[in-house]
Amino acid sequence: MPLADSTDADARADALAALGWQVDLGADEAIEDTPVDRYQLALRRPAPDPGAPRADPASTPPHAGGPPDPAAAAEAAAGAAGDLAGLRAAMAAFEGCELKRGARNLVFSDGDPAARVMIVGEAPGRDEDLQGKPFVGRAGRLLDRMFAAIGLSRAGGSLYLTNVLPWRPPQNREPTADEIAMLRPFLARHVALADPQILVVVGNISAQALLGRRGILKLRGQWTDALGRPALPMTHPAYLLRQPLAKRDAWADLLSLKARL
């Protein structure tokens, strides 16, 4: 009998460990053993009554009777935020993005909101998701060393950091264009409220969100404008960890930023 109890306990522990592993990977919704044919479900819906009055399409508001538009909801929530604390609360309450359901923490910002330079990264990774701060882990430590070389630091009040997306995509996948567009109003409001003198646009996702273009290796080092202020595109420190030879170009970009300041 004790042997059976031990076996059951081991099996239960193994099952819980497997479940925890799946949750960490982002599998947080149950599925059925057999697939559901959504087309057949649609065919089973009752046909509309031909004698019922039809609504005038011109007088029907957008999304009437359907799910709300998450991009419009994000725009409204961001616009209603009067300060950074209000913006953070609005983002925490926003339910339109599925990424929120698989993330551990909202990654809002780090550093000094009054800093002259605001760095905009891409999306949280594992370390950022765990700590609730942007640019931590190996890439974050490299970024800190890079900017410290020109006299700027998040702890010293000269840098303010955020991301395009506040929630980690599952398995660190690349955000979709819809996710970037949906969450861009929060980023634009974030920049407006912090009101930095200069934006540093780090990585391809940030370039897509703020500059409307990708190809960071071609864009880097070329001063442009984003959200009404000077912007300098740079490669992401995670890329520099994979391609150390690219640090020479990153150093040139840092010197350009120092000269601009």
Query: For the segment 197-211, what is each residue's pLDDT rounded down to a tens digit?
Result: 999 999 999 999 999
Residue 142 covered by a domain: yes
Distance CA 225, CA 217 (A): 17
Q: In this structure, is residue 49 part of a structural domain?
A: no
Tell me: pLDDT of 111 over 90.
yes
How many angstroms separate the first and last alpha carbons of the chain?
A: 75
Does 234 score more than 90 pLDDT?
A: yes
Q: 111 pairs with which residues across the strands?
A: 160
* The two three-digit tokens of residue 180, written as one number: 């970037």
CATH code: domain of residue 195: 3.40.470.10
26 in Cβ contact with 170 (< 8 Å)? yes
Note whether residue 84 is domain-resident: yes
- For residue 57, being part of any structural domain is answered with no
CA angle 212, 213, 214 (to 5 degrees): 140
Q: What is the mean pLDDT of the chain?
A: 86
pLDDT tens track for 41-51: 444 445 555 55
The answer, yes or no, to whether residue 57 has pLDDT greater than 50, is no
The reported pTM is: 0.74
Q: How far apart are CA 258 and CA 147, in angstroms?
A: 10
The answer to whether 68 touches 74, Cβ cutoff 8 Å, is no
What gap in Å lies between CA 181 and CA 98, rounded to an integer?
14
Q: Which domain holds residue 227?
A: 71-260
Number of domains observed in the structure of the chain = 1
The amino acid that residue 3 corresponds to is L
In a domain, 45, yes or no: no
